[in-house]
Amino acid sequence: MMPIDSPMALAMVEWISPPAGGRPNGPPSWPYATICEFPEENMTRHPGHKEFPEFTVSILIEPIELISITVWKVKVDYIAREAVLPCLWKGRQLVLREGHYIVAVAMITDVLVTKVRDPRRE
């Protein structure tokens, strides 16, 4: 996978430990792609409870700073960039999944784009 050169956002990701149901081998190598859900409610209101997602999309992340073994500051990008843009704002929470397993939670810290460039419309 190629590095993320033009990320849509920056985020803090916290990987769930293997004993708590996270990835069996800990955080992945990078860049990393998986499934992302945007919860309807703030996850801190219901710790450990999966909120019903508005929709699920593919997310790409690449670390820019390792705060600890399980907490990363990352660049964030999406394959469906135009569809995701209205869902991105500072403080927005995300759930990262591998199959049925929640492997990490994240919070958007900065949104870096305001409009998605579509070469088909130029």
- What pLDDT digit, counting tens, does each position of 69-117 carry? 889 999 999 988 888 888 889 999 999 998 888 999 999 999 999 865 5
Q: Report domain extents, the chain.
A: 1-15+53-102
pTM: 0.79
Residue-wise pLDDT tens digits, 12-54: 999 998 888 888 776 677 788 899 988 865 545 444 444 444 5
Q: C-alpha distances in angstroms, 85 versus 54, 81, 90, 98? A: 14, 6, 12, 22
Contact (Cβ atoms closer than 8 angstroms) between residue 24 and residue 98: no
